[in-house]
Amino acid sequence: MLSKPKDGWTTVSIEDFESEASYLVDIPFDWLNACLTGMVNKVPITLFIDEEGSEVFIVSYYDVTHVIVDRADLPESITYRNIDFMDITNGIIEDIKLYFEDWVRWSPYEDTEEECKIRSVHLKKLIKETEKALKKEAERCNKRIFASL
């Protein structure tokens, strides 16, 4: 779902949809917080992508995910009925874990070593909390998610 971040950019992919997300949104923290809130409160998650000139909103809940693209040259809306908020959350967690150090240093304009250490601790904690909430919700829904959870 998320490519390896490089110079403050990452590619977001959902099936055939792709978007280039800028560091102007703190993807790992903002998105994991949104997922955690969705899992705990059983509400839809909304993820925001700043493409620096256009915007994308991903809204996901049980059994459906909507991608709303606000580009002047090509506005569109895509619905995926086979992808739910647990799938989205799991994909985000797996990709942040896969490129963890790169996500710690997500912004091209920050961080000192001390700031990176603090960010790493907070990101690890948020991943664990989100994984726990996802596992609980998946069990409640009898949904199989990746074995690493």
- Helical axes 113-140 vs 85-98, angle rounded to 10°: 150
Model pLDDT, residue 145: 83
Model pLDDT, residue 140: 95
HSE on the CB side for 104, CA within 13 Å? 19
Q: Are 66 and 79 in contact (CB under 8 A)?
A: yes
Q: How confident is the model at residue 110 (pLDDT cuts 50, 70, 90)?
A: low
Q: Give the tens place of pLDDT for each residue, 51-109.
A: 999 999 999 999 999 999 998 887 799 999 999 999 999 999 999 999 999 999 988 77
Report the alpha-carbon distance of residue 123 to residue 71 in Å, rounded. 31
pTM listed for this prediction: 0.93
The Cα-based distances of 1 to 12, 23, 116 in angstroms read: 5, 16, 24
Model pLDDT, residue 95: 97
Model pLDDT, residue 147: 39
Average pLDDT of the residues of the chain: 93
